[in-house]
Amino acid sequence: MAERLEGMLEELGDMAMDALSRATAGDPDSAETGEALAEERRLLKARRALERSVAALLEGSGSRREPLDDGA
């Protein structure tokens, strides 16, 4: 299960990068930019929650995953 969730972590990271790219490509004051930035924040929040889930599953199994460093 942890391995499947780690695949989802990568997907969420890719989605967050896409949202950030959209946000930086347009007018900084546009509604689309604000929406893309809000989406990126939601995706990173979901990614952190999923990382905690992976860590809980791996707890005590001898495996350890490094936490996300998103600069927040």
**What integer pLDDT is reported at residue 2 of this predicted model?**
87
* Amino acid in the structure at residue 59: E
Residue 40, burial from CB neighbour count under 10 angstroms (0-12, 13-18, 19+): buried
For residue 38, what pLDDT is reported? 96
User: Mean pLDDT throughout 34-42?
Assistant: 95
Q: How far is CA 48 from CA 22, 42, 51, 59, 67, in A?
A: 21, 10, 5, 16, 8
**Which DSSP state fits 66?**
P
pTM of the model: 0.76
Does residue 71 register a pLDDT over 70? no
Give me the residue spans of the domains in the chain: 2-58
